[in-house]
Amino acid sequence: MSKKSLEQFFSRPQNLPQIPQVVKDLIATFNDPDTDVRTVAGKIGKDAVITAKTLRLANSARYGRSRQIATVNEASVRLGLDVLRNMVLAAGLVDMYPTVPHFDLKGFWQQSFHVGELCRVLASKSDCDSELSFTCGMLHNIGELIIHAAEPDLAAELDERVSAGEARAYAEHAVLGFTYAEVGAELSSRWLFPDVIQLAIRNQRVPLLAEPFSQYAALVYMAAYLERLDVAGEDTPVDWPLQLAIKLNIDWSFALEAKQKVKAEGSAYSMLLD
């Protein structure tokens, strides 16, 4: 199978997914430190579907209080821009593809939300912003979804090679000519996400080798490692990424607590999948 460049991949209109205007507006606020949260709330209120999903999240056990909120304006006051922005992003992105052949969409988003939640918890040990960390985690494998939706036959070949024991990065280069991380980073660039998010997605697989070093990429690597870890006990795993853990100031005890917390509590965002 001939390799395809990222430029060729995204030159096909169907390979660049469409998102609601309100989500585009929210992405733009990442780059505007003077964003007025009430103005943003007004834009959200023009999309009835996104509004309903956002309010459902805002009233969930994780974020809700004794009094239920009924408007996005109330949600913006209670939650603040950063949390509200992630809610709208999640609400818009989960409907980006209603179905993808031979791909577990629900499982994909559940895993994405869990990695986001792990990033949020792990960020408390670093200088990273907790909500921005969640954003990076939620988006970390968006490239995998795009590949499966845009090139299902190539994705099936890729999955077969990985199931046979081939390393995913090697298989991706052999079948596609690029990795899901590169697809995700390119997509985040085309959607005008800030550089910090693009870098976190692009360098998530090799955060210690990439220049410049990105703590957000490192958090994504660590969160993804914890998410896929089947058995977790008090003893430090033999493949524990020690150098990275030292850079992030995360010991195994704290990482284990983070994994157990997210496993027990799940993610409020999973209700978007019902």
The distance between the two most distant Cα atoms of the chain, rounded to a whole number of Å, is 58
pLDDT band at 2, cuts 50/70/90?
Answer: very low
pLDDT in tens, 194-231: 999 999 999 999 999 999 999 999 999 999 999 999 87
Mean pLDDT of 143-166: 93
Whether the CB-CB separation of 196 and 219 falls below 8 Å is answered with: no
- Domain check: are 134 and 268 in the same one? yes
CA 120/CA 117 separation, integer angstroms: 5
Number of independent structural domains in the chain: 2
Taking 60 as the threshold, does the pLDDT of residue 4 lie above it?
Answer: no
161 and 55 belong to one structural domain: no
Domain of 232, in residue numbers: 1-16+99-274
Of 95, 120, 149, the position where a domain reaches its end is 95
Q: Are residues 116 and 161 in the same domain?
A: yes
Burial 101-130, CB ≥16 within 10 A → b, else e? eebebeebbbbbbbbbbbbbbbbebbebeb
Answer yes or no: do 26 and 115 share one domain: no
| pLDDT higher than threshold 60 for residue 3 | no
Q: What share of the chain is helix, strand, coil (3-state, %, to 5)?
A: 65, 0, 35
DSSP string across 40-69: HHHHHTT-HHHHHHHHHHHTSTTT--SSPP
Does one domain contain both 154 and 41? no
- Claim to verify: residue 63 and residue 183 sit in the same structural domain: no
| Domain shared by 273 and 147, yes or no | yes
- pLDDT classification of 7: cutoffs 50, 70, 90: confident
Q: Averaging pLDDT over each range in 1-15, 20-34, 242-256, which range is the top one?
A: 242-256
Distance CA 79, CA 119 (A): 19
Same-domain status, 135 and 152: yes
Q: Mean pLDDT over all residues of the chain?
A: 92
Summarised one tens digit per residue, pLDDT across range 52-93 is 999 999 998 888 777 889 999 998 888 889 999 999 999 999
Is the confidence at residue 233, as pLDDT, over 70?
Answer: yes
* Higher-confidence position of 190 and 67: 190
Residue 175 and residue 80 share a domain: no
CA distance 188 to 186: 5
Q: Which residues contact 249 (CB under 8 A, 6 or more apart)?
A: 125, 126
Domain ends where: 40, 65, 95? 95
pLDDT of residue 161: 95
Confidence of residue 16 (pLDDT cuts 50, 70, 90): confident
Task: State the pLDDT confidence band at 127, using cuts at 50, 70 and 90.
Answer: confident
Domain end position, chosen among 95, 113, 132: 95
- pLDDT for 1: 37
pTM of the prediction? 0.94
162, 182: one domain: yes
Q: Give the whole-angstrom CA distance, residue 262 versus residue 201.
A: 21
Range scoring the smallest mean pLDDT among 2-11, 126-135, 189-198, 258-267: 2-11
Same domain, 166 and 243: yes
